[in-house]
Structure 1
Amino acid sequence: MHDSPLPPGYPRLAAFMRGSQNEVAILKRFDHANVLALLSLQAEVVELEQEYRDQCLLDHQDDSTRRFSESLKLSRHSKSPQYEKLMELREKLEEYNRFIIQVHQMNSIPSPQPSQLSALKDWLRDFKGGNSFLQSNEAFTWADPDPSSYLCLSAPVKETDPFTTFITEKILGAYHHFLGHRLGTGEVVDTETGHTSYSSSRISQASSLITTVLASILPVLTILVLNTLESTNARIAVTAAFTALFALVIAVFSDAKRIEIFAATATFAAVEVVFIGSALTGTSQG
């Protein structure tokens, strides 16, 4: 028994988001609305807290209610206005504290990559996909170009270095157009539009492989070039150039921290200096 086709609009959008390993399951953060709601709750708590204090002072002026501030049990059994106000304050605090925790947890959800947001917008505009079904105010739901305005339900990409981002945003589309769709290496998440999702982990692995190969080749290539030079000044100039190139490769093709880049570059430069030193020693002995 075949599943009946989903009606257009939100049902198809939900299926599209679900079928893409959540990579385009992108929702608004509503930062302004959340903060506004928290501020309104905070204002209510402040007001209730002051009302409770005022009630305590009022009760303290009367001999029959003076002990309410000293005995919550008595205040509770008497169903005093002071105790009722305290319960009202406690309920509002629970709502306020619960909402703060929710907003804090939501802020830990990662934002989408620009390519993910672009893929969702493309599907929404595609006449075979969303066909611009969003109307009125809902039409602006995903209008903000800033990815930080949204949260993405997919697992965060482990590698977020510039090279991986370049592959995802620039190379992947061309790869799918010329080769990927023939090899079937991606996952078709919408049969109507042919939208295909590629695993973020595999993209990251490919990026790491290319980076590792480049970092491994550069030292050998440097020694090879230095070995062809006879002038010491030329060797020093080439050493400086290759050292800068090595640092650039590490910075662009990986997510290494600054101190890690310094350490790797220093090690690379040390290998070059040792080679130049041994070359000078061999020349002087000759």
Structure 2
Amino acid sequence: MEGYAKLSSLISTDSEFAMYRKFGAQNTQSLLCYQAELISFGDDLQQLAASDRRSQDTDKRLHAENWYELSRVENGKDQQIKKFDKIRKDNCLIQQTAIAKLDRLAPYNLRNLRRWLTRSAFGSSFLYGLEARAWDEVYDHDLLAFPRSYAENDKDALPQLFLGPLLELFHNLIGRLYKKGTTKDTLSPEPLIRYYDSNILRVADILITIISSGLPIASITALNYINRTITRLVVVAVFTVTSSLFLTFLTSLRRTENFAVTAGFAAVQVVFVGTATGAGNGGLLRSDV
């Protein structure tokens, strides 16, 4: 089996290739039309309610004041009921909200999918016509991916850097030379080289631990060898800003959490500077006596 059957097999076994067009422009236009339709329905309902209030029929005059009277109209023939039913059945906005919650795709996964589609041993460019352009670069902004089963902190910049550019660099320089491919499905007889996210994220966690523990150690070590107070304060500022930037760009901490961690780190350094300065002054006083 070829074509879409082989592509479906790939996506079912390797979920990182589950990338689709969200058709943002078309869905937005649909929502705008739906909004215009609802505006029209609202105006129609007001006119129907006003008509019922002017009616000689006692039951109809109650429609604007009693939902039960309106809902018990025989066979649901009342125009207001029909308008309400139409509004209830249309869930375009809910669908758009669900689409908006899907993940933005990772560029490296998209590049791998494009390679798979074009290489003769795999997709062999089976798509043709308009549908062949579904994953073209011109639609990069309109593509989305299904959410992966990452922990929240695995979506930080550093883990994603390891899962993307650094993994590609490792594969091109080292991995492809020794790592053997595997086949998960009979529809894709050619083996694919796979790297497991759990192993890569473990390396990223180790690096984050080293950096987070290394910054305070490096700061205190540097301060220990500096005698001038002004220079120490400059070092404190440099390490504090570096720590804050690390937390901002490589982790998903909120602003308040970032502020608390940075303030605590700065406070520890300032205490060390104050203690060292006080000890130094005490030594000078004793030597003068």
Q: Residue 175 of structure 1 is aligned with which of 170, 178, 201?
A: 170
Aligned partner of residue 23 in structure 1, secondary structure: helix
Q: Superposition RMSD on alpha carbons, in Å?
A: 3.3
2:148 & 2:223 partners in 1: Cα distance? Answer: 45
Give, as a single letter, the amino acid of the residue that structure 1 aligns with 2:252.
Answer: D
1:51 & 1:172 partners in 2: Cα distance? Answer: 59
Aligned partner of residue 198 in structure 1, secondary structure: coil
2:87 pairs with 1:93: yes
The 1:94–1:199 alpha-carbon spacing in structure 2 relative to 1, beyond 3 Å, is: farther
Which residue is 2:287 aligned to? none
How is 1:38-187 mapped onto 2 (pairs within 5 angstroms)? 38-44=31-37, 47=40, 67-68=59-60, 70=62, 71-72=69-70, 75-76=73-74, 83=77, 85-86=79-80, 88-96=82-90, 98-144=91-137, 149-155=142-148, 157=150, 158=152, 159-180=154-175, 182=178
Stretches of structure 2 lacking an aligned partner (at least 5 in a row): 63-68, 284-289
2:211 pairs with 1:217: no
Aligned partner of residue 229 in structure 1, secondary structure: coil
TM-score by length of 1: 0.77
Aligned partner of residue 132 in structure 1, secondary structure: coil
1:31 & 1:113 partners in 2: Cα distance? Answer: 18
Identity of aligned residues (%): 25
Stretches of structure 1 lacking an aligned partner (at least 5 in a row): 1-6
- 1:254 deviates by 2.0
TM-score by length of 2: 0.76
1:45 & 1:245 partners in 2: Cα distance? Answer: 52
Q: Residue 29 of structure 1 is aligned with which of 10, 22, 27?
A: 22
Give the length in aligned residue pairs.
272
Moved more, 236-245 or 186-195: 186-195
Which residue is 1:4 aligned to? none
2:183 & 2:170 partners in 1: Cα distance? Answer: 15
Moved more, 52-61 or 144-153: 52-61
- 1:142 deviates by 1.5
